[in-house]
Structures are given as C-alpha cells and as structure tokens.
Amino acid sequence: MKYTDLKIQTQREAPNNARTEGFAFLVRAGYMTRENELLPLGKQAIEALERVSKEISFFFHIELPIIDNSSETFFESPAGSQEILQCEKCGYAARKEVAKAKKTPFSQETQLPIQKVETPESSTIEALANFLNIPKEKTAKALMYTRIADGRFVFIVVRGDMQMSETKLKDLIGEIRLATVEEVLKSGAVAGYASPIGLKDALIIVDDLVPQSPNLVAGANEAGFHLLNTNSGRDYAPEITADLTLAKEGDACFICGETLTGHRAEILASENRFYFDEILLALAETHHDEKGLTLPKSAAPFTVYLMQVPGKQMDTRSKAEEIYNQLQRAGVSVLFDDRDERAGVKFNDADLIGCPIRVTVGEKALQNGMVELKQRKEKENQLISLDDLFSHLKK
Ligand SMILES: [Zn+2]
C-alpha cells in the first residue's frame, strides 16, 4: 500500500497521556490516536496479526513473551488491567479471582459438642475472634445471597480467615445478588450472627476447607449469640462443597506448593478468542528501541518499507514505483513511501513505523542496478542488486 493512501501521520513527540512506552510509539508512528482508536495503519497491523493467529504457536511466531494457562494468555505489564497470581516453579497462572491456592487443614481434632455462648457486639469476625480470644481460622464466616435465576436463598460458609471470591461463586451457581433483609429473615438467619444450622429452604454451599476444619465458631441465628464447635456435615448438610475462596500473593501453589507471586497483566487471549488491540500494544511494548518500533516480520503491518531519494539525472521515483508494483505482484507486503519529503524525514518515519526491512531507491546505487537494503534492527545498510532483492524478499 502507499503511504499517502493510508494517510499516515507520524508525530515527533510522545503523547503526554502515554501509559506505556509501547503506547507512545504506536501513537507517534500513526497506528492509533492518543484516544486509543486505531488508525488505518493500526488496522493494517491488526489484519496482519489476524492472519498469523490462525497458525499454531501464534505468540511464539510474533515473538511475544506470554504467561499462559489452558484457557487464558496473559502479558505481564505494570499497566495491565488484571491482577494475576503465578507460580514460577510449575508455571501455574490465573486471574486472581479464579486462582486456586493450596489450603492447609487443621491438625486432626475430635468433634466436640455444640455449645451456645453469649457474644455481645460480636457481629464481625474480627470482633468475635477478639471477644473469644481465638484465631480467625477457628471461626466460620457467613455470606448470604439470592440466586437471580430462581430467587433461591444461598448461604455460603468460608473459614473466617479467608475471603470469598464472588467470581468463583458465580461460576458455580450463576448470577447472584446480595440477599435483602427480608430474605435473610425469612430463611431464619440473623445477620451478623448467622449460621446454616436450622435454616429453611437455603442452598447451603461451603468452601472445601470448611469440612476439614472441625469445631468452628458460627452464629447461633440469634442476635448476641454464637455456637462453639459447629461441624459441617454433622450440624448442617451442605448441598455443594467447592473451592470458593480468593487466593492471594504468598499463598501456596495448589499444584506444587511453591509460593504464588502477584503481577499486573493484560489478557491477550481466552478460549481461542484473541484481543488484537492488546496484542498490538504488547508487541509495541516488547519490540521498540529509541527510534521507534522494531516489529518482527510476522507481526509487522508490512514487511518492507520502500522509499526513494530524488535523483539529479535519473527518475528514481518512477523506478521505485516500478519496484513497488513488482513486489506487490510477487506477494511481498510492502508500504511505499510515495511522499515528496526529504530523505531524512522518510528515514525517521521508517524507523518509527518499524517495518523489518527498509529498501531505499537512490540514484548512485541504481546506476549499478542496485538498491539499498537495511534491516530495521541492524545498523548497517547493504547494497543489493535488483534481481537478488526479489529472491531475498520472497524468502
Ligand atoms: Zn506451582
């Protein structure tokens, strides 16, 4: 394609709202606006990526370092919109809200009889643990929701030292909302002092660590009172037992036990769906130098940046046009800088846009049937005969 047809506008300065260096270069090179909208050159780049994405090992082909799991592909970036947990030993990685961690059950302990105790002003786990002088791990935390699909009242129990992941709950039973005061009362629960013991028509779900944690303190469903020594299975029957808790940095990997580390990341793909805008940003982030983008061949909008330097005797312009047409016919993806600009301006823009190969048609070389070829990532030019150019580029 021709430079002027794509209406490429490069910019000397980085936008002042640049989140990352990669974004700044995409804006400066005319791939996108500072408002994050794709320009024709950017659309061309995305089309090129879409073609390569049909190949196996897509991310390997476009030379992008990724963090991968069976369903999602991440790119680590301090500006990323997602928080992920990763195990550096076995490679496990997942979004924080669905990540799994290894849970440590209590040491075996015989189940003791339930005992009702007065616990004034202990409607939070914090206050309860303080009042009874016990660790939070010895308490059961209650959460109450209503399932949207059928209006069923849902009662969740997780251990008091853990947070529940709403995402895991939704993945398990569908969309939910917090239960209303009326719904809580109707079930027989008392907010702040709730437990699943003796509830009417509740879908009881426990986190998988709860059955392995005997003698937890839970609410008595009576304001100001709790029950010591409640045991899942003995005192109430959960309908579902599943992993519902939020893993966090520092937890143990559920596969190998190594410590999980937290990172910011962007999702590049999930379930065979690619997020090409994010992939382009990630590419710009990993493939640039101080002059501009340095995209690998399989990820560049064009393989060749073709330009000409005006001659004194020869018509380099029409020769360049001729080479352009020949390359097009040969199936080489080429961007022809057809502007009447000084050579220096074109060289700068070629570096900024970052096509892997620059071909310059100049009078002196042309007199010997040669053109100048420069790899974007190399410093030196080489002269190459026109015949060799075509066989070289078709490779
Ligand atoms: Zn691991």
For residues 113-130, average pLDDT? 95
Residues near 186 by Cβ (< 8 Å), separated by ≥ 6? 153, 200
| Distance from Cα 167 to the centre of ligand 1, integer Å | 22
pLDDT digits (tens, 9 = 90+) for 292-321: 999 999 999 999 999 999 988 888 999 999
| Amino acid (1-letter code) at residue 31 | Y
How far apart are the CA of 279 and the centre of ligand 1, in A? 26
Asked if residue 212 has pLDDT above 70, the reply is: yes
| CA 181 to each of CA 164, 186, 190, 223: distance values in angstroms, whole numbers, following the listed order | 20, 9, 9, 14
**pLDDT for position 395:** 67
pLDDT band at 19 (very low <50, low <70, confident <90, very high): confident
Q: If you measure from the C-alpha of residue 244 to the centroid of ligand 1, how many angstroms do you get, rounded to a whole number?
A: 19
58-72, 195-209, 251-265, 293-307: the lowest-pLDDT one: 58-72
Of 40, 48, 18, 7, the residue nearest 355 (C-alpha): 48
Q: Which domains does the chain have, with CATH numbers?
A: 21-97+261-288 (no CATH), 115-246 (3.90.960.10), 302-394 (3.40.50.800)
pTM of the entire predicted model: 0.82
- Give the mean pLDDT of the chain: 94
Identify the pLDDT of residue 382: 93
Distances (CA, A) of 256 to 89, 95, 102, 249, 259: 8, 18, 9, 15, 9
> Of all residues in the chain, what percent carry a pLDDT higher than 70?
100
The DSSP letter of residue 298 is G
- Which residues crowd ion ligand 1, with CB under 5 Å? 87, 89-90, 92, 253, 255-256, 258
Binned at pLDDT 50, 70 and 90, residue 63 comes out as very high
Q: Cα(34)–Cα(108) distance, rounded to whole angstroms?
A: 60
Question: pLDDT tens digits for 254-307?
Answer: 999 999 999 999 999 998 799 999 999 999 999 999 999 999 999 999 999 999
Would you state the pLDDT for residue 32?
95
Compute the distance from residue 254 Cα to the ligand 1 centre, in Å.
7
pLDDT of residue 209: 96
Predicted confidence at residue 314, as pLDDT, reads 87
**What local confidence, expressed as pLDDT, does residue 221 receive?**
96
Report CA(250)–ligand 1 centroid distance (Å).
12
Q: What mean pLDDT do residues 233-253 have?
A: 96
Task: Please tell me the distance between residue 268's alpha carbon and the centre of ligand 1 in angstroms.
Answer: 22
What is the model's pLDDT at position 211?
94
User: In angstroms, what is the span from residue 79 Cα to ligand 1's centroid?
Assistant: 25
Residue 104 is predicted with a pLDDT of 84
8 Å CB contact between 259 and 253: yes
Distance in angstroms (rounded) separating the CA atoms of residues 377 and 196 = 65
Distance 260 CA to ligand 1 centre (A): 8
What tokens were used for 182? 């009326």
Q: Residue 93: count other Cβ atoms within 10 Å of its Cβ.
A: 23
Q: What angle do CA 160, 165, 167 make, to 5 degrees?
A: 160
